[in-house]
Structure 1
Amino acid sequence: MYNTDIPNREELPSTTKLVRSTIIAAFVALVLLATVVMPAEYALDPTGAGRLLGLTEMGEIKEQLAEEAAADEAAQMVAVQSSAGQEVPEVQEPVVAEAVEEPAPSPEAEVAPAEPEPAPEPEITKPQWQNEVRVVLTPGEGTEFKLTMEEGAVARFSWASEGGPVNFDTHGDGGGQSISYEKGRGVPEDEGTLEAAFTGNHGWFFRNRNDNDNDNDITLVLRTGGDYGQLKKML
């Protein structure tokens, strides 16, 4: 059966064209990998295009969901192991005592028993801090911690620098937005509340910037509590 003419050798693409097409396809694949696949799947954005397109935040959300799923699975395994290790208490048959008939008291002897006062309910105190982290910073070294927060959520914080003051920058980012709440230089400690201006990551960047007369390591202690999802170490 006749379908089509067999092309001539001159009509077929040359080896040079095939090699050039292969190189172009490989280059396009690398560009898509760096600008689309890596920001969306692994929260890696070497070119910066993923954050402009909103794909980097998608990858960060996927990583966060994966971490939460792993933590839930680990908690369920611990609960199952704890239940398996408990012994079933033996059920003892109740002992029925024979009733002994007592003489009825005289009307003069009847005294209404005093009602016992109810015991006060124990107060349940919530822990002041949900997270506490310690990190040692060498001279010139920096670190960053972020809280995942919804818009309008309020978190409490307290941090102190042992061994010398630090420079800090309280800021937030997410959904293509960014904000700087407060900055300081040579501050030994601080505490207060942080209200999220929008849904995203909000926290602090610290750097050990001691002068030459006090060029030593410092230990930063950060405590957080309140309305937020999790505390993440970014750097």
Structure 2
Amino acid sequence: MNTTEMPVQSAQTLIKSTLAAGVLAAIMLATVILPAEYNIDPTGIGSALGLTELNSQEQEIAVPEVVQRGEQSFAYRTDTTTIEVPAGRGIEYKFQLDKYGHLEYEWVTESGELYFDFHGEPTGDTTGYFESFAIATANKMSGSLTTPFDGSHGWYWKNNGQESVKITLKTKGFYEVIGLKQ
């Protein structure tokens, strides 16, 4: 019968390597990870290296750089709203944005897909012109828009189903809420 036994020296080397890796991980946790991620600095090394500044609670919220392109007349804001689209009907939900205004968005339905047209209409236009940014049928969408003109921007959703569909819409940016358009 042929059996292979691990040499004693190899087992000792493995144990020493495992212990060394554990000690190194503990040192990294105390000196780098805790100060950088949680602003906890038990050794003082994180502060000396400037790592505690990475997660300082006093940091200001960064405003997207894209808004620096033009003068914005609307304050930065975030909103979450629930919109119900009745069965067999369509609705529009809009925001007023300046030229080069920035809007980040995410919407999702509770159930079912909706046809939608994400578009904008220039302020003062009497011809009926609008520009579509996305047209599809889906149950969710997320992204951002930097507007090409002053005007109302938003979604037309149409529910071709037999049951009403609720949408949760989250937005942030420089805009004014117009809301549902009749």
- Paired residue type of 2:150: T
Q: Is the 8 A contact 1:156 1:192 kept in 2?
A: yes
Give percent identity, aligned residues only: 23
**Structure 2: 5+ residue runs without aligned partners?**
1-46, 63-76
Residue 196 of structure 1: CA displacement? 1.0
Moved over 4 A (4+): 117-121, 124-127
Please tell me the root mean square deviation across aligned C-alpha atoms, in Å.
2.7
Aligned partners of 2:180, 2:59: CA distance in 1, in Å? 31
Between 1:117-126 and 1:162-171, the stretch displaced more is 117-126
* 1:221 counterpart (149, 168, 171): 168
Residue 126 of structure 1: CA displacement? 4.6
Q: Provide the secondary structure at the position in 1 that maps to 2:88.
A: coil
Aligned partners of 1:125, 1:165: CA distance in 2, in Å? 38
Residue of structure 2 equivalent to 1:122: 57
Q: Which has the higher contact order (CA 8 A, sep 6+)?
A: 2
Aligned partners of 2:176, 2:86: CA distance in 1, in Å? 30
**Structure 1: 5+ residue runs without aligned partners?**
1-116
Aligned partners of 1:218, 1:178: CA distance in 2, in Å? 26
* 1:183 counterpart (123, 135, 139): 135
Residue 122 of structure 1: CA displacement? 2.1
Residue 231 of structure 1: CA displacement? 4.4
Normalised by the length of structure 2, the TM-score is 0.55
Higher helix fraction (1 or 2): 1
Aligned partners of 1:188, 1:178: CA distance in 2, in Å? 23
Normalised by the length of structure 1, the TM-score is 0.43
**Superposition pairs for residues 121-200 of structure 1, below 5 Å?**
121-124=56-59, 126=61, 130-173=78-121, 174-176=123-125, 177-185=129-137, 187-200=138-151
**Superposition pairs for residues 1-235 of structure 1, below 5 Å?**
121-124=56-59, 126=61, 130-173=78-121, 174-176=123-125, 177-185=129-137, 187-210=138-161, 215-235=162-182
Residue 216 of structure 1: CA displacement? 1.8
